[in-house]
Structure 1
């Protein structure tokens, strides 16, 4: 079974989104980047809220993975 660290996945997504040229981004694209960065911050934050959101997203991912079988 393959497991993916959610924090690492979000960090990779942020890295590739920020490599794009600024002129090529729309306002909605910038907003999505901000939301992803905030999600990354919450996931890696060592707080009960961050851990709870991480567990919720992990369960959601597991549910999606299980539904595709």
Structure 2
């Protein structure tokens, strides 16, 4: 894809923010909230034409 537009980068994980006309803007907000609930993080890194999302979750030691 074309990557995340610069105008959306600061609010990308906020609810109801979408770069698509048919998007709800809930997917990334929910994914990040779920990651936080498990002690992790969802991060975005990208350049024009390339987008990477990284999900970090802690390991549980038994």
Task: Report if TM-score (shorter chain) is over 0.5.
Answer: no
TM-score, structure 1 normalization? 0.30
TM-score, structure 2 normalization? 0.32
Higher relative strand content: 2
The structure with more radius of gyration = 1
Higher relative helix content: 1
